[in-house]
């Protein structure tokens, strides 16, 4: 007579509900980390572009000072061509990456400030970008 050996059922043959919940939770955590880390990539690019624009405006202000002998009263003066010289900037270069006009203020004879409202689009808040 042959002995019939009964083999136990394979307990590890499938995933249990707890294992599935654990995997779903881990995937959710990883997805959250990815979204948080990459959600502001566009914001960083806008900030960098705005910093570059501020620098370009600063260069135009310096060139204006060399041409005229003083800093401009407003940024609009940088967009005006004369009979002998082209305009230093185009009108569309006077807005930041969020579409808000840069703010320009003369602080002294040899000092000025160029300010962007930043991501919140409100001037004089902590996220403003300046020269």
Residue 25 located in a structural domain: no
Ordered DSSP codes for the chain: ----PPPPP-TTSS--HHHHHHHHHHHHHHHHHHHHHHTTHHHHHHHHHHHHHHHHHHHHHHHHHHHHSS--SSGGGGG---SSS--SS-GGGGB-TTSPBPEEEEEETTEEEEEE-TTTT-TTSTT-EE-
Which domain CATH number covers 55? 3.30.700.10
Average pLDDT score over residue span 79-98: 87
Residue 31 located in a structural domain: no
Whole-number pLDDT of residue 121: 81
Whole-number pLDDT of residue 105: 92
Residue 50 located in a structural domain: yes
Q: What is the mean pLDDT of the chain?
A: 82
Residue 119 located in a structural domain: yes
Query: Taking the model in full, what pTM does it have?
Result: 0.66
Residue 76 located in a structural domain: yes
Residue 108 located in a structural domain: yes
Look up the domain containing 122 and give its range: 41-130
* pLDDT at residue 10 tops 70: no
What's the domain count of the chain? 1
Residue 13 located in a structural domain: no
């Amino acid at each position: 007579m042959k002995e019939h050996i009964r083999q136990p059922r394979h307990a590890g043959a499938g995933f249990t509900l707890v294992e599935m919940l654990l995997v779903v939770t881990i995937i959710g955590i990883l997805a959250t980390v990815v979204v948080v880390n990459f959600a502001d990539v566009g914001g960083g690019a806008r900030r960098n572009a705005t910093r570059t624009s501020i620098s370009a405006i600063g260069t135009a202000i310096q060139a204006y000072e060399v041409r005229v002998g003083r800093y401009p009263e407003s940024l609009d003066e940088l967009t005006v061509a004369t009979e002998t010289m082209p305009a230093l900037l185009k009108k569309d270069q006077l807005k930041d990456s969020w579409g808000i006009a840069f703010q320009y203020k003369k602080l002294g004879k040899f000092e000025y400030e160029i300010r962007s409202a930043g991501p919140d689009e409100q001037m004089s808040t902590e996220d403003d970008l300046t020269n």
